[in-house]
């Protein structure tokens, strides 16, 4: 059996997919016949871009978790809350369901996203033997859940606008909010710039079907 990579197959067929509008083009074209975007059989630079964005996001995740994300003044007492201490506080005040939602949106999702994307990029860069099918499903899940981290920022913005009564009761955002916003932005970008066709080029003699 002759094993041919996905890229070779595409070149043999003389076809190339447009990444903007998903139109199939013949590969002698430089620009898509439908939307006139530049065509590339594979965008190898996208792997580097994606790594760069992901590493930046991973670094920013540290200040996002260590620094306080909100500052609450309640009758003269100032309390700084990090993401985690906010959740612990929710658990102690008997709001377990809300605590679970916030935990998933602001701790679980960013970590799963960064670790998942790193696995995905490693699999492409270092040819790790992980099933391509599983990787692709994981990638779509990551792309979808990524949006839910925005929940924390929305809650902060509503709380800050609502609670402004000076010394009595006052909520303000704190430095981690910016870092957290950047983590979301960068991870979403890292998933978006990546040319997912790169995954399918790897040769797998044992199970070529996935």
Partner 1 sequence: MLALCVTALIFYFPANFLPVLEIHFLGSIRTTTVFQGAFAVFDQGYWVVGLAVLAAAVIGPGLLILSILAQILIVKWGLSIAFWRRSLKQLLKLQGLLSQLTMLEIYVISFLVSSFQLSDFSDIYFGMGTFCFTMLFLVTLFLQREYDLEHMWTLLDGHR
Binding site for partner 1 (CB under 8 A): 20-23, 34-37, 74, 90, 93, 95, 98, 101-102, 147-148, 150-151, 153-165, 168-169, 172-173, 177-178, 180-182, 184-185, 188, 192
Taking the least distance from each CB to partner 1, the nearer of 11 and 160 is: 160
Cite the DSSP H helix spans in the chain: 6-13, 45-66, 83-92, 96-103, 109-126, 132-145, 150-162, 176-193
185 and 53 in contact (C-beta within 8 Å)?
no
How far is it, in rounded angstroms, from Cα 148 to Cα 151? 6
Please tell me whether residue 19 adopts helix, strand or coil conformation.
Answer: coil
| Residue whose CB is less far from partner 1, 124 or 176 | 176
Residue 135 vs 183, nearer CB to partner 1: 183
Q: Which residues of 162-198 are buried (b: 16+ CB within 10 A; e: fewer)?
A: ebeeeeeeebbbbebbebbbbbbebbbbbbebbbbbb
Q: How far is the CB of 29 from partner 1 (least distance, A)?
A: 15
Nearest residue (CB) to partner 1, 5 versus 178: 178
| Cβ proximity to partner 1, 91 vs 128, nearer residue | 91
Least distance (Å) between residue 18 CB and partner 1: 10
| Cβ neighbours for 112, distance < 8 A, ≥ 6 positions apart | 142, 145
CA end-to-end distance (rounded Å), the chain? 17
Q: Tell the smallest beta-carbon distance from residue 166 to partner 1 (Å).
A: 11
Q: Which is nearer to partner 1, 123 or 171 (CB)?
A: 171
DSSP state of 38: B
| Local structure of 123: helix, strand or coil | helix
- Closest approach, Cβ 161 to partner 1, in A, equals 4
In whole angstroms, the minimum distance from the beta carbon of 178 to partner 1 comes to 5
Least distance between partner 1 and beta carbon 126 (Å): 29
């Amino acid at each position: 059996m002759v094993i041919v990579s996905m890229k070779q197959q595409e070149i043999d067929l003389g076809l190339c997919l447009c990444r903007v509008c998903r139109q199939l083009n013949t590969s002698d074209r430089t620009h898509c016949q439908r939307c006139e975007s530049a065509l590339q059989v594979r965008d190898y630079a996208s792997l580097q871009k994606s790594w760069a964005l992901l590493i930046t996001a991973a670094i920013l995740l540290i200040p996002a978790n260590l620094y306080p994300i909100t500052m609450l003044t309640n009758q003269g007492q100032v309390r700084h809350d990090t993401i985690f201490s906010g959740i612990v506080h929710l658990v102690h005040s008997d709001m377990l369901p809300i605590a679970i939602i916030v935990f998933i949106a602001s701790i679980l999702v960013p970590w799963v996203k960064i670790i998942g994307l790193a696995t995905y990029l490693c699999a492409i860069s270092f040819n790790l033997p992980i099933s391509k099918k599983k990787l692709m499903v994981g990638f779509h899940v990551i792309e979808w859940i990524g949006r839910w981290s925005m929940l924390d920022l929305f809650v902060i913005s509503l709380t800050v606008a609502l609670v402004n009564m000076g010394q009595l009761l006052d909520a303000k955002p704190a430095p981690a909010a910016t870092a957290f916003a950047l983590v979301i932005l960068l991870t979403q970008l890292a998933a978006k710039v990546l040319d997912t066709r790169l995954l399918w080029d790897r040769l797998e003699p044992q199970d070529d079907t996935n």
